[in-house]
Structure 1
Amino acid sequence: MKVYQWSYDCENYDTITILNYEEFRENHKSDFKGEVIGFKWNNVYMETYQSRKSCDCTGLGNNIPIFSKHAIEVLQPYLESHVEMLPLIHPSKSYFAVNVIRLVDALDYDKASLKFVEGHSDFIEEVHQYAFKPELVAQYPIFKIPEFKRLYVFVTDTFKEAIEVSGLKGFEFELLWDSEVNNEDREAELERQYEEALAAIERNKGEEFSFDEAVRRIEAGESCASGQWQLQQASDGTIRLGNLQADDSYSWIQPIYYPPILLELKWHSVNKIFAD
């Protein structure tokens, strides 16, 4: 049994944007947290923001998958009763926002490596290594967990394999947990790699500056980092947010807003990760 974090390929496939974004934020800023919201879903208008290759999967941030009608038809056995399909209005394509309503208390606190917010033992600040309860995740091919219900969507190998067999395009997955791997050894190795990568960033940083200055420099073509985070401008002019992984790579998304935690950090210039 394996568990992955869902994502999408925004470098090689079409990306879309919300036309009535402020209205969307106002009506749904507190939604997509594992609850049904179809009863208050309004018309949400989309358009293709960057036209590349046609795909079956894109998204808004880490927590709102957007599937094509074809993807929904193919994946129906794996979606039924676990998600809510919310129609989007696009000039030429049929897209649906996928609201994952299957909330599963599947995080195994005894085996996971977790860092809690100082003074708040109920709030997880960082996950060094995930571990899940296999008897629970085996039941649900796609789900969220209470700890990150506003942030991430998780899937099992059953879901991932269904996509690979079907040939659906645009999906990406980051492996978080494998029940057949010795968790303690894997945790120790991943933590060592992660700490080494962070230490290398700290050793090589130069002048530090505010987030506002970082944004100015990014818009001028630079790449900036702060600890595990990196921001840079892609070739299409959009900003990409990278989160450092244990293997010294970055998991990139196109953020729809900047998480407040980023605004308080000190930033510094670094080399670009992906080419213009």
Structure 2
Amino acid sequence: MSTNYAMQRYGGRKTKVYSLRSNEDSSDLMLDKSVSAEHPIELKFKGQSKMPMWTPPLLYTNNKRKYNDFPRYLSGQPIVSEKVKDILFPIIAEEVEILPLAHPELNLFMLNITNVIDCVDYNRSEIKLTGKGNFARFIKFVFDFSKIPEKTYMFKIKETAVVQVFVTEAFKDLVELHGLKGLDFSEVYDSAFTSEKEEEQKRNYQAALDSIEHSKGTEFSYDEARILMEQGKAVASGKWKMQYDEKGELWLGELMLDLKYEWGRPVYIPPILLGYAWHEVDFTQMKHT
């Protein structure tokens, strides 16, 4: 497929924005311990160029899984295979920097997204503040599409540039057209999502939380819940769910507004969760190969 054709096919106005994540079937990568702490890969990725300082750092596969198109590394620093690079770069070249990586078996590249756009609608977005009134995180994104150029595929915003990459519906279509595997497209905004639909979604979400609350059985402390998880059980408290997978790795899930759990492997358990009361729930089968 030619670049011109792709731009014509995917360059039109799209209405959805997704947060880019590798899924649980993608291999995990780790940085080799020999890489200096001063290497640019260890510095924050905020949208600035890193090419002038870059030398290929050594990474290796920590957990080999089904897909290697988009192996997992750190949020905000997507890594792609050579095949993906060859397909995407002619189209997204103005939005990213391609940084070569060293790996014993694979030809891999890091995408440094340099396209940082001031496009958040703060009047409609929901923001959590710190106790001192400073920005903490977004609870809900609303984007002003008049500030997102029509032929945008990948971008960051300054507030979350270090940890989050956004992609448009055009990027999702492009990945699916070429059959590239290993990404989760978590929708964060749809411009067609009316206020009426938003209120309905909130009602459905609250109903789901009420159902969890009403159907819970015996409650346990976190320490008791951890023992249950070690026995192969899953536990929940409100919107949170925890369980170990078959490899003994802890997964923490948060029930999102679309009534799906967003799973991640926490480095530590947020202290607030240690004080919650937990109850046993159905186990979610994690898809590892």
State the TM bucket, normalised to the shorter chain: 0.7 to 0.9
**For structure 2, which runs of at least 5 residues remain unmatched after alignment?**
1-14
CA contact (8 A) 2:236 2:281 kept: no
3-state SS of 1:64 partner: coil
CA RMSD in angstroms comes to 3.1
1:177 aligns with 2:186: no
SS at match of 1:55: strand
Secondary structure at the counterpart of residue 243 of structure 2: strand
Q: Which residue of the partner structure matches residue 18 of structure 2?
A: 4
Match of 1:249 among 260, 263, 273: 260
Letter in 1 for 2:88: L
2:208 is the counterpart of 1:194 = no
Q: Counterparts in 2 of 1:1-276, with a 5 A limit?
A: 1-11=15-25, 14-20=26-32, 28-41=41-54, 43-112=56-125, 114-117=126-129, 119-127=131-139, 129-139=140-150, 140-182=152-194, 184-202=195-213, 204=216, 206-209=219-222, 218=229, 221-255=232-266, 257-258=267-268, 262-266=270-274, 267=276, 268-275=278-285
Where 1:56 maps in the other structure, the secondary structure is strand
Q: How far apart are the structure 2 equivalents of 1:24 and 1:224?
A: 40
Gaps of 5+ in 1: none
Q: Percent identity?
A: 29
Counterparts of 1:195 and 1:41, CA distance in 2: 48
Alpha-carbon distance between aligned partners in 2 of 1:36 and 1:97, rounded to the nearest angstrom: 12
Shift of 1:132: 0.7
After TM superposition, the structure 1 stretch with the greater mean CA deviation from structure 2, 90-99 or 237-246, is: 237-246
TM-score (norm: length of structure 1): 0.80
What is the Cα deviation at residue 15 of structure 1? 0.7
Is the 1:31–1:37 Cα contact (8 Å) retained in structure 2?
no
Aligned residues: 266
Q: Using the TM superposition, give the Cα deviation of residue 197 of structure 1 relative to its aligned residue in structure 2, in angstroms.
A: 3.4
Residues in 2 aligned to 1:166 and 1:190: alpha-carbon distance in whole angstroms? 32
> By how many angstroms is 1:161 displaced?
0.8
| Aligned residue type for 1:51 | K
CA distance, structure 2, for counterparts of residue 157 and residue 77 of structure 1: 18
| Alpha-carbon distance in 2 for matches of 1:225, 1:22 | 40
In 2, distance between residues paired with 1:143 and 1:168? 20
Larger Rg, first or second structure (1 or 2): 2
Amino acid aligned to 2:28: I
Aligned-pair CA distance for 1:72: 1.1
Residue 265 to residue 181, structure 1, CA distance change in 2 (3 Å)? closer
Maintained 8 Å contact 2:237/2:279 = no
In structure 1, what is the Cα distance between the partners aligned to 2:63 and 2:253? 19
Tell me: CA distance 1:272–1:233, structure 2 relative to 1, closer, same or farther (3 Å). Answer: farther
CA contact (8 A) 2:32 2:60 kept: no
Deviation at 1:134, TM superposition (A): 0.7
**Could you tell me how far apart the structure 2 residues matched to 1:24 and 1:179 are?**
43
CA 32–195 in structure 1, closer or farther in 2 if over 3 Å, else same: farther
Once the two structures are superposed, residues 126-179 of structure 1 have per-residue CA deviations (whole angstroms, 9 ceiling, x without a partner) of 42x421111222342101112222222111111111111111111220222222
Q: Write out per-residue CA displacement over residues 60-94 of structure 1, whole angstroms, 9 at most, x where no aligned residue.
A: 24322111111111111342132222222222111
- Measured in 2, the distance between the counterparts of 1:197 and 1:62 equals 29
| Distance across 2 between alignment mates of 1:231 and 1:84 | 37
